[in-house]
């Protein structure tokens, strides 16, 4: 069974939100990134969070939630650069489970199911709801070179496309796999 390193991508600039969305408090009192971090932490063997330079408050919050925090100096180059930074910082991992810090509503049980698919040998695993692939997405260790080569703001979409036949979708009823926070309106419960 693969040992899984969780990667929480928390290095975005929150431009569309108009402020620090990751520190915004949810109705349960947790900050957005803190909740996403805790949800991911319970399903992985270790956890790395990637933040942008100067995000000291978010970094401290994620460290308190159990993550080893990495500052990605190239965060302005997009999600792909942040993910490559995290892969480089955890290159000894057998597999990675990648989650986004602005997706606090993914059910822990969903994350467990994706982690189980990785532990059982999936090359790439992701949850799916009503025909739509969501987050988090897991990658086996043999894809490290592909992940290290990422850049730009598309994250790992190119890797998923390149290895589409190896993608194992896990059907879930969880709407949280598709729900992120880009603007303050996204915080309104539906």
Q: Is the pLDDT of residue 14 over 70?
A: no
Q: What confidence score (pLDDT) does residue 18 get?
A: 67
Mean pLDDT estimate for the chain:
91
Q: What span, in angstroms and rounded, lies between the C-alpha atoms of 95 and 120?
A: 11
pLDDT digits (tens, 9 = 90+) for 133-143: 999 999 999 99
pTM (predicted TM-score): 0.94
Q: Is the pLDDT of residue 88 over 80?
A: yes
Buried b (16+ CB within 10 A) or exposed e, 108-140: eebbebbbbbbbeebbbbbbbbeeeebbbbbbb
Topology at the third CATH level for domain 4-182: Spore Coat Polysaccharide Biosynthesis Protein SpsA; Chain A (3.90.550)
What are the boundaries of each domain within the chain? 4-182
Q: What confidence score (pLDDT) does residue 65 get?
A: 94
pLDDT digits (tens, 9 = 90+) for 45-76: 999 999 999 999 999 999 999 999 999 998 88
Query: Which tokens hold the place of 45?
Result: 């063997």
């Amino acid at each position: 069974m693969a040992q899984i390193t969780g990667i929480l991508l928390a290095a975005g600039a929150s431009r569309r939100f108009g402020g620090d969305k990751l520190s915004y408090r949810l109705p349960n009192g947790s900050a957005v990134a803190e909740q996403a971090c805790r949800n991911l932490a319970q399903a992985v063997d270790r956890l790395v969070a990637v933040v942008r330079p100067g995000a000291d408050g978010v970094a401290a919050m994620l460290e308190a939630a159990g993550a080893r925090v990495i500052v990605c100096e190239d965060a302005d180059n997009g999600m792909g650069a942040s993910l490559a930074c995290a892969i480089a910082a955890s290159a000894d991992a057998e597999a990675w489970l990648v989650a986004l810090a602005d997706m606090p509503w993914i059910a822990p049980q969903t994350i467990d199911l994706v982690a189980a698919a990785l532990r059982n040998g999936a090359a790439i695993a992701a949850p799916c709801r009503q025909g739509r692939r969501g987050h988090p997405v897991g990658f086996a260790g043999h894809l490290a070179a592909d992940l290290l080569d990422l850049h730009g703001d598309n994250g790992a979409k190119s890797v998923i496309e390149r290895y589409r036949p190896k993608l194992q979708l896990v059907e879930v009823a969880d709407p949280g796999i598709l729900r992120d926070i880009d603007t303050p309106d996204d915080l309104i419960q539906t």
